[in-house]
Homo-oligomer: A and B are copies of this chain.
Amino acid sequence: MTWAEQAVATLRDRGYRITGPRRAVLDLLERAPAGVTRGELLERLAERGESPDPVSVYRILGMLEENGLAHRLAETGRYVHCALAGDDHCHHHVICRSCGRSEEIHCPAINDLERAVARASGYRIENHRLEFTGLCGACQ
């Protein structure tokens, strides 16, 4: 079962309707190892012959983000799909500054860090966002 298929199932479960534009965006997100900007998304959709309204693409991306299926990287502004890792879903990415490629990473160590930060700052921590930038294997 591919990521896009799982995403479709998740959305259906939550009462969302599965439309052409939504399928297309999910599919493109799945195929884009470096993520995509909204503009690229529109271009690629056009290449395929599908041309949903730019406004719809906006709304779809927003909806996917709210549902934890997509994430916009702060560093580059590109959208990436998120692994469907249930509740331990979190925002950890490594991003290549040369080719833009990015990977979702798993780092349990962040929890210790979180606890330490909570203690030191007096904040009750609820969420976090972590992005590493550098060069991927191919670009070094």
Contacts and interface: CB of A to CB of B under 8 A. Distances in A.
A110 interface: yes
A14 to B, nearest CB: 24
Interface residues of A, number: 35
A134 interface: yes
A130 B131 CA distance: 7
Contact of A132 (B107, B125, B134, B135): B125
Contacts of A105: 117, 120-121
A136 B117 contact: no
A118 B96 CA distance: 12
Interface string A92-111: 00101100000101010110
Given A109-B116, A122-B137, A128-B130, 15 more contacts: A94-B117, A94-B125, A96-B123, A97-B126, A105-B117, A109-B112, A109-B113, A118-B134, A122-B136, A123-B132, A123-B137, A125-B132, A125-B133, A126-B133, A130-B131
Interface of A: 74-75, 94, 96-97, 103, 105, 107, 109-110, 112-114, 116-118, 120-137, 140
